[in-house]
Every structure is written in structure tokens, then in C-alpha cells.
Structure 1
Amino acid sequence: MAEFTKIIASISNFIWGMPLILLLIGGGLFLTIRLNFFQFRYFPHIVAQTFGKIFAKSDSPGTLTPFQATTAALASTMGAANIVGVPVAIALGGPGAIFWMWLVALIGIGTKYSEVVLGIHYREKNEKGEYVGGPMYYIKKGLGWKNVAYFFAFALMIEVVASTMVQANSIASTLDSSFGVTPLVSGIIVAVLVILVTYGGIKTIGKVSEKLIPLIVVLYLLSALIVVAVNIREVPAAFGLIFQHAFTPISAAGGFAGAGVAAAIRWGLARGLYSNEAGMGTAPIAHSAAMNDHPAKQGFWGIFEVIVDTLIVCTLTALVVLTSGVWKDIKTDDASNMVAASFVPVFGDSLSGIIISSTLFLFVITTVVVIIFYGEKQAEFLFGTAFSKVMRFIYIAAIIVGALGGLQFIWQFLDLLLAAVVIPNVIAVLFLNGKVREITNDYFTNFYPKSKRK
């Protein structure tokens, strides 16, 4: 088994190295050029249509408000990656990794926007009268690649099992170390909460995420801002490190082992791609339920996701770590604890533990709820709504098993399954770039002039 695990790990590392980085970065860059750099040219308008309309109501066709659909999608991207992943990128790639994280976010905006636009354009109503969509629908209807659509749906349906186990184990470990809650109790608590939320379907998920995600983000951002404010004198130096070492190596210091430019690029790109999930095909599944009168408008909410997740939350995490100086003192193996260590001088041991543990707990709960919804939608697409309920019970069982640390050999397939989801989705989006361009041009020709007159 050990040898088998090594083989799987080596294959995963290869695929998630240059092949996928080139596909995702190259794909995002191609879409950005194809759409005439619209995210930069119309940035004020995009902000006005998203940040400026968070509380706006809509009577357009759909199941969720645009903001509810966005917070549901954000629930699967916001999480441990924002608090733990960024310090790991700094530990392995140096401060310069943050520059490359920003770059991939700006490029990934084109991919995320395109996915969401296609999700809305090719969506349809299910047996319950709810709007459903996502890569499986635009691959099947937009390209006629039925077998590829079924492959994507099956891969994502199975990937959710492994992902649910990993998330449940993460939260069980956090609660055990912080509050002494046993893994079995943690698993049961998470399972019950997930059942209560998912039972009501996408409408309940939308209502819960609409309230919970902003609350968690604000809690974490306020805590992080306080830490940065305490270390405000170090902020200019932190930005200096980010820009300088994006292009020049940085030597070892304390527990930091040093990093070359290649490492900064590799870890910055990987963190940016993994954090905002541009190209993974999951976001359009949630966005497809949104009430909106034009696909491009919901696409702007996809851009909103990337801005909040990567450009705001991940950046603030990086500033917390860099201004506090812990990145130079804590070794790579303990990099995941850097944010907690940065909080301690400001909030003390107990309060720091409570803030980090509570934030991670809420992030993981919302993530598990939404990814299970994604898995159910794949089951529904493949086998109908009745089978989606069967998969829900399998996912709930996976929470308990994952919390207890069981069936860990399945976890080894997580990255491979993610690759099996990402590759067909990105290729499909690239093939459908003409449709995305057509929809975008229609919006900026017929809708944008009217919005400017209001």
C-alpha cells in the first residue's frame, strides 16, 4: 500500500505541476485576451454591479438571489486554504509567492467569469422546478460531448466523498486540539448540522450561506486587520518583500529556509489557483440557480468571488504573517500555524485559539454543505433526483468516517479526482469561448449603456 500511495502521489504532483498550471494560466490568459481584457476595462462597472448591489432584490428567473448564489459558491472556496494555505505558500516560496498569487487571480477572473456565464446560459429546470446548471450541462448542450459531461459529473460526484472526508478530519482535529472534543462527537455534530441545512435544498443553503459567509469573513478580516494595525509600521516593508522577491531569490533566515524565484512562482500560482477555484467548474453549479436577467451579470458575481477570496482575504492573511515576522521564525513543517502565532501577541493564547478555531469550524461547515450539494447535483444529472438523495446519505457517512480518520487511502485520490474534474471543464470552456464572447458583447452593447444612463 505504501508503494501504491507513493505512485499516486507522484502522479498527482506531476499533473498539478506544470501541466495543470499551464492549462489554467494559459486558459485564463486566452479567455482574458479573447474578452478584450474586460475585467480591467470595466472594473468600476463590475464593482458597482456586485459590491454595490449586495442587498438588491431580483424578480428575474431563478431560485436564489445573485448574492445568495455567490455566497453559496464562496462557501466552497473560503476555508482553510485562506488561513493555512497562504502561510504554506510563503514558507515554501517566500514572500514573492504572493505577487504570483495576485497575478493568477487577475488572470483567473476570465476563467471564473466564463464558467458562470456558461452555467447560466445553458441551465435548465429540474423535476422540482429549480434551476440547475454547471459544466455537465454546458459540456453536453453546448458542445454535444455527452460522454465527457457524464465523466465530469461522475468524477465530481466521487471527488466529493474524498473531499468531505478530508474536510471533516480537518475540523475534528481542530476541535480536538483546541477544545478537547473527540473526533466522533465532532463528526456527529458536523453531520447533524449538514443534514439540517441540506435537507431544505438549495434555497436553505442560499439563505444560510448568505448570512454565515459574510459573518465569518467579517470576523476573520476584523481580527486580521487589528493584527496588521498593531504592526502597521511593517506594512511598507511587507509589500517591498512581496514585489522584490517575486523576481529575485530570498536567502534563509531563522526557521525560513530561503526560496528561489521558481519556488515563488510555483507556490504563488498553485495557491492562487487552488484558493479561488477558477477553472474547477464548481462555482457555476451554485451560480446557475441565481435570479438574473443576463448571464454576464451573474458572471460579474464570479469576479466578485475572486476579489473577495484571493485579493482581499488571502492578501490580508499574507500581511498578517509578513508584518508579524513569524514567517522567519516558524519552520516549514509548522507553517499552517503561522496565522495563529501572529494573533497570539495581540489577542493572547486563549482568544487567538478561539478566533482561529471558530473561523475554521464555520468555514468547514459551510464548505461541506456546499460541496455535498455539488455532489448531489452530479448524481441528479447522472441518475435522477431520487439517486441524489442516496448520495446525500453516502456523503453524511463520509463525514463521520473522515472525522475518525478512516479510509485514508481514499484521500490519496483527492488531487487526481480534482484533476479529472478540472481538465474537461477548462477544455470545454475554451472551446465555448465564442459563446462567452457573444454573450459578453451583447451585455456591453445592449445593457451597459442603459446602466450608465441610470
Structure 2
Amino acid sequence: MEGLFGVVEYLNSLLWGPPMLALLLGTGIWFTFRLRFVQVRKIKLVFKKTFGDVFKKSEKADEHGMSSFQALATAIAAQVGTGNLAGVGTAIAAGGPGAVFWMWLSGFFGAGTIFAEAILGQTYNQRVDGQKVGGPAYYIKHGLGSPALAAFFAVSIIIALGFIGNMVQSNSVSDSMNAAFGIPHIVLGIITAIVVGAIVMGGISRIASFAVTIVPIMAGVYILGCLVIIFRNLGEVIPAFQLIIQSAFNPMAATGGVVGVTVKEAMRYGIARGLFSNEAGMGSTPHSHAIAKVAHPSQQGFVAIMGVIIDTLVVCTFTALIIIITGTYETGLVGIQLTQQSFAIGLVGFGEYFIAISLFFFALSTIIAWYYFGEGNIKYLFGQKAIRAYQVIVLVCIVLGTLIEVEDVWELADLFNGLMVIPNLIALLGLSAIVIKSLENYESSDLDK
């Protein structure tokens, strides 16, 4: 087994090398410039489309799709998960504080990428067995005209998110709950699997209702906890930002050699964890944005941008600040242990429990969203008849994930994330003219005038 994970680690060093980082950032940069910095110049519309109807009574999700906000909540359920807590800790431990800068950069340009994903998801959505569905497999097949590449993506995302990704989630939450409350890992795995099973077997209506209820609460409570620590350490905030910027370009000088990482490592882990967190370019969130009930595809594109803002520029930044201002990034801890120790210092007597409980809900929401994304691709490949078998395998993976070493699980996640990114980015670049035309069409319309 050790030899197998050694191979995985080697493949990741190749897969997540300069070409992949350049392709990811390059795609975001391409869309950002071609769309004329849509994430900046349309920021008011992003907020309006996201929160304008949030207090109105939301219609129930059904075979015709879900509301725009329900689609965003489902997407954020996937985005805001262990990547924001354990992932940020892993990035800083392996890439130094400078990794945070590269997370920001990938998030800023990733907003352009995720805008494009949402538009293509909307443009090429389909009806299968009477249900509205969509996602990269559909725009790769019907837009790019490559059924083989679409099938490769579908297989990759099922393994990456439905199976391996959910092992990452259960691994992190079991570690955290075990450290805080002493609950055995396997017990946490079984409990999580039971809760997830009860929700996903209720179909899209129950999944959407869960997401739209739990996501705003869990994100709000977590941000509030972070703000308490930050206000207690206001004098350390500006130095923390300075350290992040310095470490991004000169890690050794910024840390005095304590971390001892290179710029390449800071970029590698910052962008890789940024992708795992905000999922821009990965091809996951288009599954929910594709079935949103909107008048024009670009409208859901604006909403999708908010997902990256909340995930990377807000939640990930808060997590990183807590790790840096408490000084725990120099302790040698990794992943959720690093984040948990940071909050234990910042919220004395309560921080460890706060993170454990937060992570449970973050991971639970992500598992359910990733299950849903994988289910869409099971339907694409095998039809409705294979859903029950898929559900069973997902629940088994949740339990198994609690029994594997954290470094090994993250390496597997990076590998399969990379495999699903490649066909999605090929499609995004190949269909970029469709995205640009959609935005131009929207801007020439009177939908928001």
C-alpha cells in the first residue's frame, strides 16, 4: 500500500506541475480578460442576483430544476468544506503562508472560470427521464462534440468526488471529532453515512432544502467565530497579510527558513488547495448551476461568482488569518490538526470543539453536494438503474475514509481532481466563444434595465 501511494505522489508531482498550474490560471486569466473583468465590473449585479430574492419564499426543487439561490447553496455546500479548514491548513503547512496568496489569485481568476462553467451548464442542460440535468459531460458531448471525453470526465468526477473526495471529507471530520470529543473514527464514519443516506435518498428536493437551510447558518457561525479571534488580535492582522505577500515570492526570507519552502511549492499547494476549495475549473459546481431556473444563462453566471467570493476570498482567508496570527503554522502540524490547534489558541477552552462541530457540518454539506454531482454523471453513463448501487458505494467510502492516513487521502484527491480538470478545461476553452456571446447577448438585453 505504501508503494501505491508513492506512485500516486509521483503522479501528482507531474500532474500538478507547472503545465497544470499554468492551464488553470491561464484559463481564468483568459476568461477574465475576454469577459472584460466581469467579476469586478458586474460586482453589484453579482450581489443583486445572489441576494435579491433570498428572503422571498423559495419554490420547491423538482424535476424542472431548482431556484437560482438553491443552486448556489448546493454549489457552496460543495465549495465550503474541508478545503476551507483542513485544506488551508495543509496548504500553509506544505507551501508556507505564501500559499494563501496563490489561493487568492486562483480565486480571483477562478471567478471568471466559474462564470463560464455556469453559462455552459445552463446552455447545454438536458432532460433525462423527465428530469432536468446538466454539467460538463453534457457540454463536452453536445457542445464540444466529444462523447469519449465526456465519458472520461464522468468517470473521473464519480471517482474524484463521489468516492475519493467524500473519503477526504469523512477523514477530516473524524480526525477533528476524535481529537475534540474522543469519538472513535469508525463511529463517526457510520454516523455520517447514516445521516447522508437519509438525505440523499430523498432526492433533489431534500438535497436542495438541506443546502439552502444549512449553508447560510454554518458559514455565518464560522465567520463569526473567526471574527472573535481576529478582533482579539487586531495588531497581528496587518503583519499576517504582509507575511502572506512576502512568502508568496520569497518564502525563506519571510519565514527565516523555518518553513523552508520554495515559491514553486507555495504556488503548487496554494493553487491546488484553492481549486479543491472553490472548485473553479474543476467541473463540479456546473451540475447545480445548470438546472437553476433563470431567464438567461448569464444570470446564473453572476450567482456562480458569489460562490468563489464566499469560499476563497472570505472563508479561506479567515481560516488562514487564524492560523498565521496564532503562530501555529510553525508547529509542524498538518491539515485539520493545524487548524484545530489555531482555534484552540484563539478561542481558549472552546476552539477545539468549535472547529470539530463546524467541520462536521461543512463536511456533511460537501458530501451531500458531491454525492449529487456524482449522481448526475452516474445517470449520464448508466441511467437511473445504477443510482442505488452508487449510493451504497458512496456510503461505504464515507466509512472507509475515516480509517486512512490524511496525507494519503489528500494525495488521492489531488490526483483524481486533476484528471477531471483536464477535460473540463479543454471544453471551457473550446467553447469560450459561446460564453462570450452569452454575456454580450445579456448585456444588450433589457433583463435588468
Settle same-fold status: TM greater than 0.5.
Answer: yes
The secondary structure found in structure 2 opposite 1:125 is strand
Structure 2, unmatched stretches of 5+, are none
Q: For residue 442 of structure 1, what is the aligned residue in structure 2?
A: 441
Tell me how far 1:346 sits from its aligned partner.
4.3
User: What is the rounded CA distance, in whole Å, between the counterparts of 2:342 and 2:411 in structure 1?
Assistant: 31
Aligned 8 A contact 2:345 2:351 in 1:
no
Percent identical pairs in the alignment equals 38
Instruction: Judge which range, 193-202 or 98-107, deviates more.
Output: 98-107
Tell me how far 1:88 sits from its aligned partner.
3.2
Aligned 8 A contact 1:140 1:149 in 2:
yes
Cα 1:155–1:248, aligned 2, differ >3 Å: closer, same or farther? closer
Instruction: Judge which range, 369-378 or 162-171, deviates more.
Output: 162-171
Tell me how far 1:361 sits from its aligned partner.
0.8
User: What is the rounded CA distance, in whole Å, between the counterparts of 1:234 and 1:413 in structure 2?
Assistant: 36
User: What is the rounded CA distance, in whole Å, between the counterparts of 2:293 and 2:445 in structure 1?
Assistant: 19
Aligned 8 A contact 1:91 1:256 in 2:
no
Measured against aligned partners, the alpha-carbon deviations of 1:66-98 in whole angstroms (never above 9, x if no partner) come to 111111111112112111222333333333332
Tell me how far 1:419 sits from its aligned partner.
2.0
Aligned 8 A contact 2:171 2:402 in 1:
yes
Q: For residue 133 of structure 2, what is the aligned residue in structure 1?
A: 132
Measured against aligned partners, the alpha-carbon deviations of 1:310-338 in whole angstroms (never above 9, x if no partner) come to 0001111122222233334x12x446433
User: What is the rounded CA distance, in whole Å, between the counterparts of 2:274 and 2:159 in structure 1?
Assistant: 24
User: What is the rounded CA distance, in whole Å, between the counterparts of 1:255 and 1:188 in structure 2?
Assistant: 43
Q: For residue 100 of structure 1, what is the aligned residue in structure 2?
A: 102
Aligned 8 A contact 1:63 1:203 in 2:
no
User: What is the rounded CA distance, in whole Å, between the counterparts of 2:414 and 2:262 in structure 1?
Assistant: 25
- Amino acid of the structure 2 residue aligned with 1:7: V
Q: For residue 374 of structure 2, what is the aligned residue in structure 1?
A: 375
Q: For residue 164 of structure 1, what is the aligned residue in structure 2?
A: 166
Tell me how far 1:404 sits from its aligned partner.
4.1
Instruction: Judge which range, 72-81 or 301-310, deviates more.
Output: 72-81
1:267-282, aligned counterparts within 5 Å?
267-282=269-284
Q: For residue 432 of structure 1, what is the aligned residue in structure 2?
A: 431
Tell me how far 1:25 sits from its aligned partner.
0.8
Aligned 8 A contact 1:252 1:258 in 2:
no
Match of 1:73 among 72, 75, 78: 75
Q: For residue 175 of structure 1, what is the aligned residue in structure 2?
A: 177
Q: Aligned-pair RMSD on alpha carbons?
A: 2.5
Q: What is the TM-score with the length of structure 2 in the denominator?
A: 0.92
Q: For residue 24 of structure 1, what is the aligned residue in structure 2?
A: 24
Is the counterpart of residue 392 in structure 1 residue 391 in structure 2? yes
- Amino acid of the structure 2 residue aligned with 1:115: E
Measured against aligned partners, the alpha-carbon deviations of 1:189-245 in whole angstroms (never above 9, x if no partner) come to 111111111011112111101111111111110000000000012222222223334
Instruction: Judge which range, 73-82 or 247-256, deviates more.
Output: 247-256
Q: For residue 311 of structure 1, what is the aligned residue in structure 2?
A: 313
Q: For residue 235 of structure 2, what is the aligned residue in structure 1?
A: 233
Is the counterpart of residue 211 in structure 1 residue 210 in structure 2? no
Measured against aligned partners, the alpha-carbon deviations of 1:403-426 in whole angstroms (never above 9, x if no partner) come to 3449x9998644332222110011
Instruction: Judge which range, 433-442 or 99-108, deviates more.
Output: 99-108
Q: For residue 7 of structure 2, what is the aligned residue in structure 1?
A: 7
User: What is the rounded CA distance, in whole Å, between the counterparts of 1:363 and 1:12 in structure 2?
Assistant: 26
Tell me how far 1:359 sits from its aligned partner.
0.6
Tell me how far 1:121 sits from its aligned partner.
1.0
Aligned 8 A contact 1:156 1:418 in 2:
yes
Is the counterpart of residue 451 in structure 1 residue 448 in structure 2? yes
User: What is the rounded CA distance, in whole Å, between the counterparts of 2:247 and 2:54 in structure 1?
Assistant: 37
Q: For residue 359 of structure 1, what is the aligned residue in structure 2?
A: 358
The secondary structure found in structure 2 opposite 1:202 is helix
- Amino acid of the structure 2 residue aligned with 1:365: L
Aligned 8 A contact 1:62 1:292 in 2:
no
Aligned 8 A contact 2:124 2:138 in 1:
yes
User: What is the rounded CA distance, in whole Å, between the counterparts of 1:255 and 1:348 in structure 2?
Assistant: 29
- Amino acid of the structure 2 residue aligned with 1:372: Y
Cα 1:164–1:327, aligned 2, differ >3 Å: closer, same or farther? closer
Tell me how far 1:287 sits from its aligned partner.
1.4
The secondary structure found in structure 2 opposite 1:207 is helix
- Amino acid of the structure 1 residue aligned with 2:176: T
User: What is the rounded CA distance, in whole Å, between the counterparts of 2:14 and 2:101 in structure 1?
Assistant: 23
Q: For residue 119 of structure 1, what is the aligned residue in structure 2?
A: 121
User: What is the rounded CA distance, in whole Å, between the counterparts of 1:240 and 1:207 in structure 2?
Assistant: 41
User: What is the rounded CA distance, in whole Å, between the counterparts of 2:235 and 2:362 in structure 1?
Assistant: 31
- What count of residue pairs does the alignment treat as equivalent? 445
Tell me how far 1:371 sits from its aligned partner.
1.2
Tell me how far 1:151 sits from its aligned partner.
1.6
1:27-38, aligned counterparts within 5 Å?
27-38=27-38
Tell me how far 1:168 sits from its aligned partner.
2.3
Q: For residue 416 of structure 1, what is the aligned residue in structure 2?
A: 415
- Amino acid of the structure 1 residue aligned with 2:396: A
Q: For residue 188 of structure 2, what is the aligned residue in structure 1?
A: 186
- Amino acid of the structure 1 residue aligned with 2:280: A
The secondary structure found in structure 1 opposite 2:343 is helix
Aligned 8 A contact 1:249 1:260 in 2:
yes
Cα 1:135–1:161, aligned 2, differ >3 Å: closer, same or farther? same
Measured against aligned partners, the alpha-carbon deviations of 1:387-418 in whole angstroms (never above 9, x if no partner) come to 12221122122223333449x99986443322
Cα 1:134–1:326, aligned 2, differ >3 Å: closer, same or farther? same
User: What is the rounded CA distance, in whole Å, between the counterparts of 1:263 and 1:391 in structure 2?
Assistant: 36
User: What is the rounded CA distance, in whole Å, between the counterparts of 2:252 and 2:361 in structure 1?
Assistant: 36
Q: For residue 55 of structure 2, what is the aligned residue in structure 1?
A: 55
Q: Point out 4+ residue stretches in structure 1 off by more than 4 angstroms.
A: 56-62, 252-255, 408-413
User: What is the rounded CA distance, in whole Å, between the counterparts of 2:397 and 2:96 in structure 1?
Assistant: 36
Tell me how far 1:307 sits from its aligned partner.
0.1
